[in-house]
Structures are given as structure tokens and as C-alpha cells.
Amino acid sequence: MMQILIGYMGSGKSTVGKVLAKNNNLMFIDFDDYIVEKENLSIPEIFKLKGEIYFRRKETEYLTELLSQKPEAVISLGGGTPCYGNNLELLKNDEELKLVYLKVTPQNLTQRLFKERAKRPLIANLEEEKLEEYVRKHLFERQFYYLQSDVVIDANNKTVEDLVAEISKLLD
Ligand code: S3P
């Protein structure tokens, strides 16, 4: 069984995923790290040197590859992964996985992301007010995909331990 965490940048997918995996004796796979390892370039480097279209193509290619290996794992995807190409279909049609959406408000996302925006090429150059506007619009477009998850978790103002307990209970 795979437990797959999706949600906007900064929603806590990796942080929650690590603890969720540990608690369930599963492997943890960060899909951005998976891409970085395969491409031998950081995410900002891939965007800068090869462009976003290349990144999205590789994202689909590696998602297909990873799902076909059927790892016993918790996997945190990139914020955009379910929103491009046939990725959501790939995920929805796979009976060996559960999709979990970590839902966070644009305000909370903006607060979290402003500090760590440098490593995220889509938002690296935005000022704080612009960032909130961007997140609000972008999240509105992406919710359509995120909301097709098996489980939607309100991930505002909760500890990682609470979130892990909530997810484990819902997936039981
Ligand atoms: C992206 C999110 C990032 C990374 C890339 C693009 C997006 O992952 O895949 O920068 O389109 O939302 P995180 O959600 O882990 O930051």
C-alpha cells in the first residue's frame, strides 16, 4: 500500500510524510528528491537550465516509474504533481494507493512559504503581498485536483503528531 500526500507548496507534505512513514513502518519517499536524484540537478536548476515544461514531462515519467514499482511507502508529491498531464488519472486509477490532501489556507501557506521561497522557482521572486495573491489564485486553480483525494485533512494549526494520528485513523 502507498499513502500519497498531496497539497500546495508549504502544506507540510514532507514533514508529515516522514513521521507518518515512521509510525506505520513504511519507507518515506520525497518525490522532489526522487526527481533531483534522477536528474542530478536541484529543482531550481532544472527549472533554470531546462525549463518548466521539461520538469513537468519528467515529473510524469518518474511518477509512472515510481508507481509501477509499488513501494510500501509514504510518498510526498510536489505541489504541482497531481495537476499536470495525466498524473491525477494515474494516481486515481491505482488501487494500491490512497491520496491524502493536506489542506491549508492561503494565509497560512503564505506565512510558511515566504521564508523558504528561494528553493521554489515558481515563487522565488515574489514579495510578501504578491505572494499571498499568487498563492490564493494558484490554489483556487489547483483545488480542483487536490479535492479529488480519498481523504481531505484540514492541516491548519495542528501539530505533525495530530495530523499523523488523524491520517492514520482515516486510512485504517
Ligand atoms: C511545485 C512544487 C514543488 C516542486 C516544484 C514545483 C509546484 O514541490 O515540485 O518547485 O508546482 O507547486 P513542493 O510542493 O514540495 O514545494
158-172 confidence digits (pLDDT tens): 999 999 999 999 998
Q: Which element (helix H / strand E) includes 97?
A: strand 97-103
Q: Indicate whether 103 pLDDT > 90.
A: yes
Q: Whose CA is nearest to atom 4 of ligand 1?
A: 78
Task: Give mean pLDDT, residues 74-102.
Answer: 97
Reported as a single tens digit per residue, the pLDDT across 63-83 is: 999 999 999 999 999 999 999
Name the residue with higher pLDDT: 129 or 88. Answer: 88
Q: Whose CA is nearest to atom 2 of ligand 1?
A: 79
**What are the pocket residues of ligand 1 if the criterion is a CB atom closer than 6 Å to any ligand atom?**
9, 32, 43, 78-80, 120-122
Ligand 1 geometric centre to CA of 94 (Å): 22
Task: Give mean pLDDT, residues 11-18.
Answer: 98
Q: Which ligand 1 atom is at minimum distance from the Cα of 80?
A: 11
Closest CA to 103 of 6, 19, 31: 6
Would you state the pLDDT for residue 129? 87
Q: Do residues 164 and 153 touch, judged by C-beta distance below 8 A? A: no
Q: Whose CA is nearest to atom 11 of ligand 1?
A: 80
Q: Whose CA is nearest to atom 15 of ligand 1?
A: 78
Would you state the pLDDT for residue 156? 98
Q: Model's pTM, two decimal places?
A: 0.97
